[in-house]
Structure 1
Amino acid sequence: MGNGLSKSHRRRSKVLLAAVPTQNSPPPPYSKDVQTASPTLVYVPPPWITEDALETLRIYDTVIIVDDSGSMQGERWKEAGSALAELAEVAAYYDANGIDIFFINSKTRGEGLKDPNQVRKIFDRVVPTSNTLLGMVMHRHLKNYVNKIESDLQTRRCALDDSGVKPVNYIIITDGMPSDPEELENAIVKCAQWLDKHEQPLNQLGIQFVQVGNSGSAAEYLEHLDTALKTEYNIRDMVDTEPYRDGSKDSKLGAERLIKILLGGINRRVDVKGGAALSEQDN
């Protein structure tokens, strides 16, 4: 199956963003930390992205959580900023509501963002410090999402409505090892058990860890979350992990690794085989 791109589109070598104001555009969503008013953005994917592969993202809310702990200072923080910029730019194109950005420690946040410049401004306001209480943060996010589904289930029982809650794709940019690893594992397991018990779709929620830096112990821990939890607790597989850098000198993510990071938590085939799994469908 082809990617449906025209020859002129294939010749493009960069992501193009053009501000196109529309006269009757509704006001942007409210954010207490960032003014989100901006023109409507038209995003043109780079030629190496197969739109068919990332089309799945349209049905998801994308939430990016950035580790801003003290261990992220220096080069890791620069790498986190690069990862955030690349991932947010593509994810925002497919999320009609715009993406949400949170940090582990800082109260700075952005919701409903579609402009990459807004994402960068938010990131630049944060200084990494303190501990990596990722477990506590994920417990709060997952608990709130489960409560939303639970409330929706009760409402639909009365209204005979089958619309459901929009699936969510969590992307966590971190150097790996949290200060509360047991809490993080427990939060993931409890959420998965609840989703299984209430027969929610297997792709209702995904968690993708993106590791910056090159800590071997951190990589081992994230790999444990990716591969071991489903067998240890007999739960759904909803976790994936991928290093931001693969050891190459490339300054940008390649197509297959970008697909792996954006879809690995919500697509089991991509989780197991990588971004190449979707391109196999075209052969």
Structure 2
Amino acid sequence: MPLFGSSSRSKLPLPFLSRNKQNSPAQKSTYSNNKSTGSRHSDPPPAYTPVSATSTTAPSFPAASSEGGSLAASPDQPDSFLAQFDTVFLIDDSGSMRGASWKATENALAKIAPICTAQDKDGIEIYFLNHRSDSSNGAYSNIRDTGHVREVFTAVSPCGGTPTGTRLNHILKPYLKGFEEASKSMSPDERDNAVRPLNIIVITDGVPTDDVDSVIIQTAKKLDRLNAVPWQVGIQFFQVGNDPEAAADLKELDDALAGHNNIRDMVDTVPWDGTQAGGGLNADGVLKVVLGAVHKKYDRKNATGGRQ
């Protein structure tokens, strides 16, 4: 994933994303877990090497950059900000998503994914709440274009509940473990140059059937305790459909969770019922969805470009 500038370093995988050199026999080659090595600017750095749950050694890292860990984006290309993050999509595939909501989710992701892929030539990762792929972490990796998104959605049938908190925990737990290991073995500057920030986009239509609040609160508290940069983890909830209960629940996560618990603001929400911008998200709305939880400039804009 190229960043700004001319210096380069190899990209290492996220701790919770298995990127083996060969696919499992049951997984299509379209979703290869093999990540390429590309030119990268040293601000910020690549992610760290995954650590086994039973390992007693600290993760290995590339050489830390001498440059700072500040974030920057071109005024003409604000989505260039995405080049500094690993972006993961978590899709609600519960039974309530059947029909119009499922198609709306597919269409929304088909619009959003190319924005991310423009900054990450290796593609994106897609998780589902219930469905698991054949990969070890249950995700679909290296999704690069709209066609890949359509193919994944064809293979998944919505069913079951909405275990958003459980699945978020599956993603966040190994990431936080690696971040904590880095905090023990490195200086804060070295750590911030070695652990790539994470942007999680949750696309859902309803209220979770488990405890999302606790997962977010515990994550935020750990990041605060470890003095992580404000943008180390962002969680963006993108609501499809117009369920008022779901809208209220997501708004609580966005507006009240951080204030009530004296923790960092790492959550943003965007409602979309398919009627905005003539039935589709406009460019600013797409940018809002992708960046809102980690870049507060876009957190202050709604899905149609106005101020909240």
Q: TM-score, normalised by structure 1?
A: 0.77
Q: Distance in 1 between matches of 2:217 and 2:147?
A: 35
Residue from 164, 175, 180 that aligns with 1:150: 180
Q: Secondary structure at the match of 1:94?
A: coil
Residue from 167, 174, 177 that aligns with 2:207: 177
Runs of 5+ unmatched residues, structure 1: 1-26, 41-49, 279-283
Q: Distance in 1 between matches of 2:295 and 2:147?
A: 29
Query: Is 1:250 aligned with 2:278?
Result: yes
**TM-align CA RMSD:** 2.7
More helix by share: 1
Q: Distance in 1 between matches of 2:184 and 2:233?
A: 19
Instruction: Find the counterpart in structure 1 of residue 198 from structure 2.
Output: 168
Q: Distance in 1 between matches of 2:21 and 2:256?
A: 39
The residue correspondences of 1:1-283 to structure 2 (distance < 5 A) are 30-32=22-24, 33-36=27-30, 52-108=77-133, 109-156=139-186, 163-180=193-210, 183-245=211-273, 247-248=275-276, 250-274=278-302, 276=305
Q: Distance in 2 between matches of 1:271 and 1:218?
A: 19
Q: Deviations over 1:83-134 (max 9, x none)?
A: 1111112111112442100100001231132233222211110000011111
Q: Deviations over 1:175-230 (max 9, x none)?
A: 030111xx211000100011111110001111111111110010000000000011
CA spacing shift, 1:264–1:97, aligned 2, 3 Å = same
Q: Percent identity?
A: 35
Q: Distance in 2 between matches of 1:131 and 1:246?
A: 23
Q: Distance in 2 between matches of 1:88 and 1:31?
A: 22
CA spacing shift, 1:28–1:198, aligned 2, 3 Å = closer
Is the CA contact 1:29–1:111 (under 8 Å) kept in the aligned structure 2?
A: no
CA positional deviation for 1:34: 3.3
Alignment-mate amino acid for residue 214 of structure 1: N
CA spacing shift, 1:249–1:261, aligned 2, 3 Å = closer
CA positional deviation for 1:28: 9.2
Q: Distance in 2 between matches of 1:142 and 1:97?
A: 21
Q: Deviations over 1:155-183 (max 9, x none)?
A: 435xx666221111101110030111xx2
